[in-house]
Amino acid sequence: MKQFFSVFLVILLSLVLAADSYALQVAAASETIFSNIDEVAVFDVTVRNDNDYLDSFTLLVEGDSLEWMVPVDILLAIPPHAEKTTKVAFMPRKIGAYNYRLTVSSYSYPAIASSLDLTVTARKPETKIDKLELGKLDDGIKIKLQLSTQRPTTADVRLAIKGEAGAVVKTMRIAKEMQQSATLELPLSLVDLEAGKYFVEAVVDSSTASAEFQVAAVHNIQQERERVSSLLHDEITITVSNLGNVPETYSLSEPMEGGKLTAFVTKQPASCYVNGEYRECAFMVENLAPKTSSQIIYRIEYWPSVAQFILAVFMLAVLAFGTVQETARPRISKAAITKPDGTRTVMLEVKNPVWKLNNVIVRDFVSPLAVVEGFEHTKPVLRKSEAGTELIWKIGNLDSREHRILSYKVRPLVEGNIKMPRAYLRFRSSKNKRVKIYSGRINL
């Protein structure tokens, strides 16, 4: 029986204490605070006494880096059914998140207590963009930023130039040392931007600002012409450059030499006008992007005329060579002469215009219808047969421009014309080649 009574008292006391714990309420306006380092982060904590008696409550803080805690009230006297607000403050020295537990307990009945978790997130002091303005310059704009901060810092300023569709076309990043406020002015050249609407976006820490500006259209087309001549052709290069900031379609008319073969290397003409020796072709350069160039290259071909000239020179050279060869080659001629006394003489004339001739032999033949009766100059070797008489003169060597005349007397054995065979000249050239040259035929 005594044991049962003891258990009953313990249960009853637990129920009483549990009921008393609900008589204490603790709440904070915000359980998480974001603060800059070296700045005070203050939690407003409200403690409510729902008991029917005046009571005092103690505040106990546990957690990280308690040395950062700012002294506050640690004992609160609160009337019945009343509440009181106190401050719990911290001054963080490092960047990071720090957790604390605040426990409020009754001074009279310590078992009556309530806890609350608090978090301080410390960060670097931020720089703010107070104002972003754009001004005009001769070839661009001036970006003016007004910045402010709570403590000396180096502001990391990031600028982005975006097109109307949002595409980033240019970026800049500047480090600006400042105390509490600073003005940053930056020139921006627009010469490499196409015409249209653009936006300047500035970002410093979590602060942003933007402004828009317009790039006016600039039309500037430059044309250069270069001609390079050679033996076979002239090459003409026309360079069209778009120095403006908008795409351009450009047309040009090019006069050309009529009657000449023209080869178009890079671009065919849109049209050509020909009138006799006059020719003019029109070219079209379409959608030439800003800051780009396009080339039109064509050639005036001279090789047909050159080929005709070379052929003519070649033919003249061949003709001249043949003439020289014909004039320079050794010759032998044969002729018959009838003297007033009726004597008939056959003359052989040997001419050597240019080269030296070695082992020169002259041979002639007399028909069996005639006989040889004598010699006026050098006597040859005679060989007689039924086919006629062969005459052989062994002259030896003939120098350049040397001239020899050989002759013999002949008497026909019959009346009428007798066809005499051809004589020939045989020798060895300077290249030791055997050469034979014939004379013409004669009638005796």
CA distance 76 to 45: 12
- One digit per residue, pLDDT tens: the chain, 444 residues? 445 445 444 444 444 444 444 579 999 989 999 888 888 899 999 999 998 899 999 999 999 888 888 877 788 899 999 999 999 999 898 888 999 999 999 988 988 999 999 999 988 777 889 999 998 888 888 999 999 988 788 888 999 999 988 899 899 899 888 888 889 898 988 888 888 899 999 999 888 999 999 888 889 999 999 999 888 888 889 999 999 889 999 988 888 876 677 777 788 888 888 877 778 888 899 999 998 999 999 888 877 666 767 888 888 888 877 666 666 688 888 888 887 777 788 888 888 887 788 888 899 988 888 888 888 778 898 888 888 889 899 988 888 888 888 889 888 888 878 888 898 889 887 777 888 889 888 887
CATH number of 128-215: 2.60.40.10
Q: Does domain 329-443 have CATH number 2.40.30.10?
A: no
CA distance 288 to 324: 64
End-to-end CA separation in angstroms for the chain? 189
Q: Cα dihedral sign for 170, 171, 174, 179? A: positive
CA distance 139 to 119: 53
pLDDT at 202: 93
CA distance 39 to 202: 27
Q: Cα dihedral sign for 405, 409, 413, 414? A: positive
CA distance 137 to 225: 35
381, 425 contact by CB (below 8 A)? no
388: left (phi over 0), alpha (psi -120 to 50) or beta: left
With a CB cutoff of 8 Å and minimum separation 6, the contacts of 273 are 279, 280, 281
Name the residue ranges covered by the structural domains of the chain: 21-123, 128-215, 221-304, 329-443
Tokens standing for residue 29: 């306006």
Q: Does domain 221-304 have CATH number 2.60.40?
A: yes
337, 345 contact by CB (below 8 A)? yes
With a CB cutoff of 8 Å and minimum separation 6, the contacts of 108 are 55, 56
CB crowding 115-152: b at 16 or more within 10 Å, else e: ebebbbebbeeebbbeebeeeeeeebbebebebbbeee
Which residues on adjacent β-strands are paired with residue 412? 370
CATH topology of 128-215 equal to that of 329-443? yes
CA distance 236 to 266: 11
Fold of the domain spanning 21-123: Immunoglobulin-like (2.60.40)
With a CB cutoff of 8 Å and minimum separation 6, the contacts of 46 are 26, 27, 28, 29, 83, 84, 85
CA distance 152 to 174: 16
Cβ-in-10-Å burial (0-12, 13-18, 19+) of 276 comes to exposed
